[in-house]
């Protein structure tokens, strides 16, 4: 379009001024003046101004950025670090930290010591205009990113705490964990696991002692202690993995994981009980396939599971966060555009790219561009982005005290 919106407005304003004069009133009968005046108006209404369009595009990109949580390499960062640039430019709304780099098979990633970690999170947070989610998997036991060898106190596994079945012990353990996280500048613990220990040989849940119990009431009881103790320290939590990963016989990190025959509705009970009592800050999806709930899509990409079941039937209107979208169950089965389109349409608010199983340094910008294109093509309604953004910012307000 050759004319700037400002010029159109300026000329339209001049025309209006002219029409108020005697000369203008005489010219009003002129078809030429009428044509010009209404042409200016039509152009403005149809195209708007390029400046306005650019502002809308930037606002949409920033909202999409808030929906992305990514991992990165490095024990420290500076203004030239790719992750700092992503944060400063609004391309990500959260980061996830690891102690081990799986793709490189090296025991060094983001965590080396308490002093180093605290400096890292401080620098990350300082780069963001909005509160930045800084997340870690600190479940206890084998799934602990803050390890004793790095100078942190060890925490008991959920299975061990479940066997003791002492809610006060679980609360004390969670209190120590959340206090450490808060002191380190970490504001989101991707825990507790509320999967039922249906299959003790499950390679990713049972065998790693990540489940409190196969009893849904016991799981909910102990998970509530974890949630409440973290909240006291200002640390958010995420229940995982909806709608239940405990019965699987395969690891969704590796590839397609079908629980259609092993899953039961009982696995929903801990989620339901927690939602009815203390509530959940976030709920993390599982990349499991369950044909009884959705005959086509795994949970992370399923509107039937995330929208119809979790939101409409179970009444959860908080933040839904995906498991790592680079896990084999997604990456090996779907191209990135399909995965992003389906997870956003399903109702996911925060999309995680751990950048640890595989490393894609430009994933935030790439994901943003794909989602922007899907919105422009009306394959994703803009309202989905706005709704996720609102949920995320409401939760971030809790970190700053604005949500009280």
Q: What is the separation of C-alpha 229 from the centre of its chain, rounded to a whole number of angstroms?
A: 22
Is residue 253 annotated as a catalytic residue, yes or no?
yes
CA geometry: angle 318, 398, 326, nearest 5 deg: 50
Given 253, 281, 287, 294, which residue is catalytic? 253
Tokens of 313: 């039937």
7 φ/ψ sector (left φ>0, alpha ψ -120 to 50, else beta):
alpha
CA distance 321 to 397: 17
Choosing from 123, 137, 323, 324, the catalytic residue is 323
Judge contact between 197 and 242, C-beta under 8 A. Answer: no
Q: What is the DSSP string of 35-83?
A: HHHHHHHHHHHHH--HHHHHHHHHHHHHHHHHTEEE----S---TTSHH
Question: Could you tell me the sign of the dihedral formed by the alpha carbons of 224, 225, 226, 229, in that order?
Answer: positive
Say if residues 106 and 65 touch (Cβ distance below 8 Å).
no
In what side-by-side order are the strands of the sheet with 94-96? Answer: 319-321, 282-285, 236-242, 188-189, 133-136, 94-96, 68-70, 351-353
Q: How far is residue 385's CA from residue 387's CA, in Å, rounded to a whole number?
A: 5
230 belongs to the catalytic site: no
Rounded CA-CA distance 302/341 in Å is 11
3-state class (DSSP) for residue 188: strand
Helix, strand, coil percentages for the chain (3-state, nearest 5): 50, 10, 40
- Contact (Cβ atoms closer than 8 angstroms) between residue 299 and residue 288: yes
Residue 295 near residue 201 (C-beta atoms within 8 A): no
Residue 266: burial class (beta carbons within 10 Å; 0-12, 13-18, 19+): middle
How many distinct helices (H) and strands (E) make up the chain? 15, 10
- How many angstroms separate the CA atoms of 158 and 356, rounded? 24
Residues designated catalytic: 253, 323
């Amino acid at each position: 379009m050759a004319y700037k919106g400002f010029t159109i407005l300026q000329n339209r304003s001049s025309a209006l001024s002219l029409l108020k004069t005697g000369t203008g009133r005489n010219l009003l009968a002129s078809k030429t003046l009428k044509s010009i005046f209404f042409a200016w108006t039509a152009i403005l209404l149809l195209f708007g101004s390029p400046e306005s369009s650019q502002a809308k595009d930037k606002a949409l990109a920033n909202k999409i950025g808030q929906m992305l949580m990514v991992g990165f390499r490095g024990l420290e960062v500076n203004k030239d670090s790719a992750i700092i640039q992503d944060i400063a430019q609004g391309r990500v709304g959260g980061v996830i930290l690891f102690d081990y780099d799986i793709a490189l098979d090296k025991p060094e990633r983001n965590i080396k010591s308490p002093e180093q970690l605290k400096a890292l999170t401080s620098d990350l947070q300082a780069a963001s205009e909005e509160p930045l989610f800084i997340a870690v998997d600190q479940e206890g036991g084998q799934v602990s990113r803050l390890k004793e060898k790095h100078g942190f106190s060890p925490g008991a596994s959920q299975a061990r705490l479940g066997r003791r079945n002492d809610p006060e012990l679980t609360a004390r353990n969670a209190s120590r964990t959340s206090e450490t996280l808060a002191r380190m500048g970490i504001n989101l613990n991707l825990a507790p696991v509320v999967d039922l220990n249906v299959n003790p040989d499950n390679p990713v849940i049972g065998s790693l002692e990540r489940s409190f119990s196969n009893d849904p009431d016991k799981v909910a009881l102990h998970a509530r202690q974890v949630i409440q103790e973290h909240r006291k320290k200002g640390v958010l939590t995420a229940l995982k993995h909806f709608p239940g990963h405990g019965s699987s016989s395969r690891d969704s990190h590796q590839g397609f994981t079908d629980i259609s025959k092993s899953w039961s509705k009982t696995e929903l009970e801990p989620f339901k009980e927690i939602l009815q009592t203390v509530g959940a800050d976030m709920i993390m999806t599982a990349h499991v396939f369950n044909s009884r709930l959705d005959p086509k899509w795994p949970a992370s990409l399923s509107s039937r599971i995330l929208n119809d079941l979790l939101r409409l039937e179970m009444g959860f209107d908080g933040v839904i966060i995906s498991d790592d979208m680079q896990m084999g169950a997604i990456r090996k089965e779907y191209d990135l555009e399909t995965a992003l389109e389906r997870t956003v349409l399903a109702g996911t608010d925060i999309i995680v790219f751990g950048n640890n199983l595989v490393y894609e340094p430009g994933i935030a910008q790439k994901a943003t561009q794909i989602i922007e294109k899907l919105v422009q093509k009306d394959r994703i309604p803009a309202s989905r982005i706005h709704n996720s953004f609102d949920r995320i910012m409401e939760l971030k307000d809790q970190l700053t005290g604005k949500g009280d």
